[in-house]
């Protein structure tokens, strides 16, 4: 799938189309930063880079090849990461072939069956871990864990322990149903 199907609307400032683009673009851009993970905060760089894609999109000119905006996002993320490496004087590991990474990127689509499986497992979680997981999911990255813990009347470490338990139990439950979302989820 060519994510540039959303390009025209994004260029004209359609935030909903940008959100749809993000659902498939986030993963390949994130993966393009993997080699920097030891030396920079990839999550911070990724979010800033994708925000910049939105900001520069009105001036974007397609080269006619598929996934032009995604390739631009990978370049912006890479440049920002390199800039951070220079600023912090860190040494990243070898870079992957970024163009190849985009070429092999598989746009994701919502999977209602998988979603139902996760929700069924979430419903089986003990109360406190469930609260911690739900608080994280509901916050949408808008609040730090100290705020979330306070909102639930928990100490930070208790909140984190409950979240860890929720994550591991969820992965275990999914695995019993033959679903491995990501091995790291149960680590």
Partner 1 sequence: MTDEEEALLVEQVASAYRPTARAHEELRYHPAWHDLSEAARERAFARGRALRTLESTIDPDGLSAAARAILARIP
| Residues at the interface with partner 1 (CB under 8 A) | 15, 18-19, 22-23, 26-27, 30-31, 34, 37-48, 50-51, 54, 80, 83-84, 108-111, 114-115, 118-119, 122, 136-137, 139-145, 157, 160-161, 163-164, 167, 170, 181-185, 187
Kindly report each contact of residues 125-133 with a partner whose C-beta sits within 8 Å and lies 24 or more positions away, as own/partner.
Answer: 125/166, 125/169, 125/170, 126/165, 126/169, 128/154, 128/162, 129/162, 129/163, 129/165, 129/166, 129/169, 130/166, 131/162, 132/159, 132/160, 132/162, 132/163, 132/165, 132/166, 133/163, 133/166, 133/167, 133/170
Shortest distance in whole angstroms from residue 66 CB to partner 1: 20
Residue 63 or 113: the one with the smaller Cβ distance to partner 1 is 113
Shortest distance in whole angstroms from residue 117 CB to partner 1: 9
Shortest distance in whole angstroms from residue 125 CB to partner 1: 13
Tell me how far apart the alpha carbons of residues 173 and 83 are, in angstroms, rounded to a whole number: 42
Residue 4 or 77: the one with the smaller Cβ distance to partner 1 is 77
Residue 63 or 184: the one with the smaller Cβ distance to partner 1 is 184
Residue 62 or 145: the one with the smaller Cβ distance to partner 1 is 145
Shortest distance in whole angstroms from residue 172 CB to partner 1: 14
């Amino acid at each position: 799938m060519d994510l540039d199907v959303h390009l025209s609307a994004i260029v004209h400032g359609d935030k909903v189309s940008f959100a749809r683009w993000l659902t498939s673009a986030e993963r390949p851009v994130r993966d393009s930063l993997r080699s920097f993970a030891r030396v920079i905060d990839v999550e911070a760089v990724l979010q800033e880079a994708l925000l910049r894609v939105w900001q520069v999109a009105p001036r974007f000119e397609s080269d006619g090849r598929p996934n032009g905006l995604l390739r631009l996002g990978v370049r912006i993320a890479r440049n920002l990461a390199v800039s951070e490496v220079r600023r912090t004087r860190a040494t990243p590991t070898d870079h992957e072939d970024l163009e190849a990474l985009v070429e092999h990127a598989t746009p994701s689509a919502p999977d209602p069956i998988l979603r139902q499986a996760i929700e069924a497992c979430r419903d089986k979680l003990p109360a406190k871990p469930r609260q911690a997981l739900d608080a994280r999911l509901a916050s949408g990255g808008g609040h730090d864990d100290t705020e979330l813990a306070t909102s639930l009347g928990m100490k930070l470490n208790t909140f984190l322990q409950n979240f860890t338990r929720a994550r591991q139990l969820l992965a275990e439950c999914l695995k019993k149903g033959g679903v491995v979302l990501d091995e790291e989820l149960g680590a």
